[in-house]
């Protein structure tokens, strides 16, 4: 039995500070310098040093040619169909627009990024869902080259990458995989964007290469916030919290309620199970008491969680402002979102959901503006622009408008 209460006050609790160390950035920067100087040979050397093998390109087979259990093959296919349907919905909203008036035509359009790279971690288990969630939106967006890199060649990852639309698959992992996609490697041409989760070396590499490539998010440990009242199904919520915690030793699930008796009941169930009790002691599961519903809402909007599960009908979804993805009602398990609901599971963490979004079709598109000025427009726009250029003392700006007026 526990010798203390693990229920804390929501107004006093803060998210752990898990920023990467300067030493890690220096270490990865040194590796990138080696790769930029040494090219393919440096990538080969690092791969052998860290992973014990020579990187290789693998020709993908048609999806159904992979020898997987029929039920798994069908689940991968159905998940892919749902993800693609949601991506198509997103793409259908991206319509070019323009204003036509006497001074000209002014508008914008969407253009897919030409080449992207998707990093698919190896780890203890094949991350099938990562292949689907990173490659399908890129394909739907219209990206021509879709490079998949993974240290794992598990048949399920290869099958998922094939179904999701990878145009190349390379067995290569870690920081050297991200660098290979950014700089190019053997006959792999450089990409303009790299997406996908990974360990701290992968994440730091992506951050350090942002002047060369676009990235999805600077990912931190996975996190879940649950807002619940006494009517919530405790067994379901405990399973949800444990599921989120198993992503990573630093992953965290936070349950907030204004009902102390409810929190105490959840606490006792966690304490009664050794595995769950360890998660509670290690603060991978956190129980917080709020004073009232308003405090629950304020906590959520301040915390800006990656995943937000709303299990309290007193709170309306519209009152929750900042989150990566919202799961409304107890039926909406976060695990559905991880695998097969349709919306993407690559989401902002560490509070960045108050200023950034999860991966989607739009992530793989550039917004390009254009303007075509008429004969009348060049005179009228010059009248507007010339005083501004004069005030900024940009002589040739003023001159380029003056000669057209």
Give me the phi and psi of 315, to 5 degrees please: -105, 130
SS3 100: strand
Residue in 307, 313, 322, 398 annotated catalytic: 307
Residue 118 and residue 131 in contact, taking contact as beta carbons nearer than 8 Å = yes
- Tell me whether strands 7-9 and 97-101 are parallel, antiparallel or unpaired: unpaired
Interatomic CA distance for residues 305 and 65, integer angstroms: 40
Q: DSSP 3-state assignment of 94?
A: coil
Residue matched to tokens 């444990």: 242
Question: How many angstroms separate the CA atoms of 267 and 277, rounded?
Answer: 9
- 306 part of the active site: yes
* Tokens representing residue 297 in the block: 């809402």
**Beta strand extents in 35-161 (DSSP E only):** 56-58, 97-101, 104-112, 115-119, 145-150
Q: Are 32 and 205 in contact (CB under 8 A)?
A: yes
Backbone angles phi, psi at 288, to 5 degrees: -130, 135
Of residues 84, 168, 223, 306, which has the active-site annotation? 306
Coil/strand/helix, residue 77: helix
Secondary structure of the chain: what % helix, strand, coil (to 5)?
45, 20, 35
Nearest to 161 by CA among 148, 172, 173: 148
Q: 97-101 and 104-112: which strand pairing?
A: antiparallel
Q: Tokens in use for 191?
A: 């990409």
**Residue 241: exposed, middle, or buried by beta-carbon count in 10 A (0-12, 13-18, 19+)?**
buried
**CA-to-CA distance for 80 and 71, rounded, in angstroms?**
14
Q: At what angle do helices 260-271 and 274-281 cross, to 10 degrees?
A: 120
Residue among 228, 400, 402, 226 at smallest CA distance from 323? 226
- Residue among 144, 204, 131, 153 nearest 174 (CA): 204
HSE-CB of 385 using CA atoms within 13 angstroms:
18
Catalytic residues, by residue number, are: 306-307
């Amino acid at each position: 039995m526990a010798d203390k209460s693990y229920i804390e006050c929501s107004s006093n609790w803060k998210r752990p500070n898990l920023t990467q160390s300067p030493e890690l950035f220096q270490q990865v920067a040194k590796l990138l310098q080696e790769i930029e100087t040494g090219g393919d040979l440096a990538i080969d050397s690092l791969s052998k040093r860290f992973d014990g093998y020579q990187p290789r390109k693998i020709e993908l087979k048609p999806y159904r040619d992979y020898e997987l259990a029929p039920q798994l093959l069908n689940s991968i296919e159905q998940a892919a169909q749902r993800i693609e349907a949601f991506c198509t919905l997103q793409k259908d909203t991206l319509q070019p627009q323009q204003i036509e008036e006497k001074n000209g035509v002014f508008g914008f359009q969407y253009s897919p990024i030409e080449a992207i790279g998707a990093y698919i971690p190896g780890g203890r288990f094949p991350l099938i869902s990562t292949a689907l969630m990173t490659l399908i939106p890129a394909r739907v967006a219209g990206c021509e080259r879709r490079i998949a890199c993974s240290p794992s060649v598990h048949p399920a990852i290869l099958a998922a990458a094939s179904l999701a639309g990878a145009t190349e698959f390379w067995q290569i992992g870690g920081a050297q995989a991200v660098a290979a996609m950014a700089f190019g490697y053997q006959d792999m041409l450089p990409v303009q964007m790299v997406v996908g989760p990974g360990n701290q070396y992968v994440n730091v590499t992506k951050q350090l290469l942002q002047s060369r490539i676009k990235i999805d998010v600077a990912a931190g440990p996975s996190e879940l916030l649950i807002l619940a009242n006494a009517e919530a199904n405790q067994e379901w919520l405990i399973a949800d919290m444990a599921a989120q915690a198993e992503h990573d030793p630093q992953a965290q699930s936070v349950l907030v309620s204004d009902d102390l008796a409810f929190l105490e009941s959840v606490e006792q169930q966690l304490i009664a199970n050794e595995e769950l009790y360890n998660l509670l002691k290690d603060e991978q599961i956190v129980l917080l008491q709020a004073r009232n519903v308003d405090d629950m809402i304020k906590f959520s909007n301040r915390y800006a969680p990656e995943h937000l599960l709303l299990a309290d009908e007193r709170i309306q979804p519209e009152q929750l402002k900042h989150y990566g993805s919202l799961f409304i009602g107890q039926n909406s398990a976060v695990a559905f979102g991880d695998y097969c609901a349709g919306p993407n599971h690559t989401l902002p963490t560490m509070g960045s959901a108050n200023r950034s979004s999860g991966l989607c079709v739009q992530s793989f598109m550039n917004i390009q503006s254009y303007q075509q000025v008429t004969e009348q427009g060049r005179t009228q726009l010059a009248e507007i622009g010339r005083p501004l250029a004069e005030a900024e003392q940009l002589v040739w700006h003023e001159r380029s408008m003056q000669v057209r007026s």
